[in-house]
Structure 1
Amino acid sequence: MIQKKSVKRLFLAAAILSAGAAFSAQAAVLASVRPLGFIASAIAEGVTPTEILLPDGASPHDFALRPSDIQRIRSADLVVWVGPEMEVFMTKSAAQLSPNRQVEIATLAAVKPLLMKGSDEDEHDHDHGEGHDEDEHSHGQYNMHVWLSPEIARETAIVIHNKLLELMPQKKQQLDANLSRFEESLTKTDKNIGNMLQPVQGKGYFVFHDAYGYFEKHFGLSPLGHFTINPEIQPGAQRLHLIRTQLVEQKATCVFAEPQFRPAVITAVAQGTTVRMGTLDPLGSGIALGADSYVNFLSQLTNQYLSCLK
């Protein structure tokens, strides 16, 4: 009899534990891309876990949801994304979430006036090489790489804080402290980066992907242009010649690749010029989520600019 009772107790304890595990697996903030996870994890630190939807190395431009991803979106407490112009793959799933369970950054009242126009209009003048169609990289009217704006990051953090406060009012003290810390840290980092980048503000460079406008404008950098090259397709000779001509004519100091671009493409573009090569990572691959991950991301990007421009 005693044995039966203790077995029952064990089963009950196991059931409670598994129910708790199931609850904690669902009680999470889910961010579409890593940099949004940096902002969310700073606010959710010590309150609830933050998870990233896109695996490292995946691009929001051509990602497709798996059934397990759809399940993660459905079961998350709060979903943070930019909007359908950036993550078109999330549109359907996000439409099924109530407004209090999602933060769609591009639609926030405080963010709308801060949105920058996209510069897709000039891309149609270029030779696309190998029949590549660049329209897949068009984000509509605005540049949707909003996580590269410290101002938009601050506004996003405030809204994440407010939504989590609605969902978990008992965690008010921790959430308030997290937001306060994030804002202080961002102000300090913003000032430091401004000082660090000042000596290179007049130096011209090219980026491959039109992603960095917010960061460049905020810190007064001098981009000369961008070339949206699909890393899967080797650009044609005519296109490479056009890029090379522009690099030389505009006296560029640097040309920046991204971690997913083949070095062969970069080398081919810069060959026979005095242009240096660098790498910019707009998604902060390898940075762990936590209270300081967003400011670490901005600092990493700053160092990537400096290592080539200085």
Structure 2
Amino acid sequence: MEKNNFSKYLFLLGKILFIHLTFSAFSINAQAKIISSIKPVGFITEAIAYDVVETDILLPDGASPHSYALRPLDVQKIKSADLVIWIGKDLETFLPNILKNVDDREQLQLFGVKGVEALLYSDEDEHDHEHENEESEHEHEHDHEHGEFDTHIWLSPEIAKAVAVAIHERLLILFPDKKVQLDANLSSFLSQVTETEQVIAKKLISVQNSGYFVFHDAYGYFERQFGLKHLGHFTLNPEIQPGVQKVYQIKQQLLKEQAVCVFREPQFNPAIIDKVISGTHVRSGILDPLGMDIPVSKDAYTHFLNTLTQQWLNCLNDKE
């Protein structure tokens, strides 16, 4: 008798748990949510959506958009989102297949935004000061990874402001009753970024003549805006190791003391950088193009810009 009562108790408990989990899942999915593909886009999204709608990010810290594969949880996030914000197929190669089944009203592809398109430029325009004998390799890698334009648009504060305007316009459609808050968020973001640009420009004047190499060629927009002396890169696609000729060319330039720093990224730690700088006076630094250690908040994007600036200064400033 006691055994039967215990079985009934377990059955009843199971039903209660099932109902609770079902309603909890329904409640979560019923909440509006905006999904950003990568963290820097999420920084901008959170600034505009602050106190209006919950935001989330697909790409986990430490992952690269160049090689990421969607998990079942990611697919569920996308399907339940009110809006998915991403850059384009040449960066987030993991998204086009699933987003082709998502209504255009439920996604915002930033490469298709007029205010963003006007500020894009191609990789061929990006580093005119690099060696001409690297051109064929550059174009080959470029075609593989980026398509026609440089996809790292979040590294341009000017493009970030255009992105914010586009997100604001889309959120106004979704939440017209939140116009006052959305307008205030946009105004605050634009002012913050403009002020931060001015501060960064002053800080970086002291290192504009300090040459450097980067592992991954991702920083063109930032470098162009602030007049930094990019001498070259190891690779355009961080998933592809640089060739022997490329490494030899960089080593020769380092030996001629044309550079003071070689930057790596926290998402990638290629041993080849340590080998290349050995026997030289060149320093090694870290640039994080994804803001891996920065928490998402309404002020995160300007925090990201300031952190990136300090990473440049840490390695390029003369410490001797």
TM-score by length of 1: 0.86
Alignment deviations for residues 282-307 of structure 1 (CA, whole Å, 9 cap, x no partner): 00001111110000000000000000
Match of 1:53 in 2: 58
Query: Structure 1 residue 96: deviation in Å?
Result: 2.2
Instruction: State which of 205, 213, 233 in structure 1 corresponds to 2:212.
Output: 205
C-alpha distance 293-211 of structure 1, shift in aligned 2 (>3 A): same
Contact 2:88–2:110, Cα closer than 8 Å, also in 1:
yes
* Contact kept? 1:224, 1:250, Cα under 8 Å: no
**How far apart are the structure 2 equivalents of 1:237 and 1:19?**
55
Contact 2:216 2:236 in 1 (8 A): yes
Q: Which residue of structure 1 lines up, in the alignment, with residue 5 of structure 2? A: none
Equivalences for 1:104-123 in 2 at 5 Å? 104-119=109-124, 122=134
User: How much identity, in percent, do the aligned residues show?
Assistant: 49
RMSD: 2.6
| d(CA) in 1 for partners of 2:23, 2:189 | 35
**Would the aligned equivalents of 1:63 and 1:89 in 2 still touch at CA under 8 Å?**
yes
Shift of 1:267: 1.4
Tell me the equivalent position of 2:48: 43
Match of 1:94 in 2: 99
Letter in 2 for 1:34: K
Aligned length: 292
Preserved contact between residue 64 and residue 89 of structure 1 (Cα < 8 Å) = yes
List per-residue Cα deviations over 1:236-279 (Å, max 9, x = no partner): 76653332113234611111111133263221111111111111
Q: Rate the CA distance shift 1:250–1:229 in 2: closer, same or farther, 3 A.
A: farther
Q: CA deviation at 1:181?
A: 0.7
Q: What is the rounded CA distance, in whole Å, between the counterparts of 2:59 and 2:285 in structure 1?
A: 25
Matched, 1:279 2:290: no
Deviations 1:209-242 (A, max 9, x none): 1100000011111101111177677767665333
| Structure 2 residues without counterparts, runs of 5 or longer | 1-15, 127-131
* Aligned mates of 1:61, 1:256 — CA distance in 2: 19
SS where residue 95 of structure 2 aligns? helix
Bigger mean CA deviation after superposition, 245-254 or 15-24: 15-24
Query: Which residue in the other structure is 2:316 paired with?
Result: 309
Give the drift of 1:202.
1.6
Matched letter for residue 57 of structure 2 = I
Aligned mates of 1:115, 1:204 — CA distance in 2: 24
TM-score (norm: length of structure 2) = 0.83
Residue 232 of structure 2 is matched in structure 1 by: 225
Distance 2:82 2:185 in 1: 18
Which sits farther off after the overlay, 276-285 or 83-92?
83-92
Structure 1, unpaired ranges of 5+: 1-9, 127-132
Q: Choose 265-274 or 204-213, whichever is displaced more.
A: 265-274
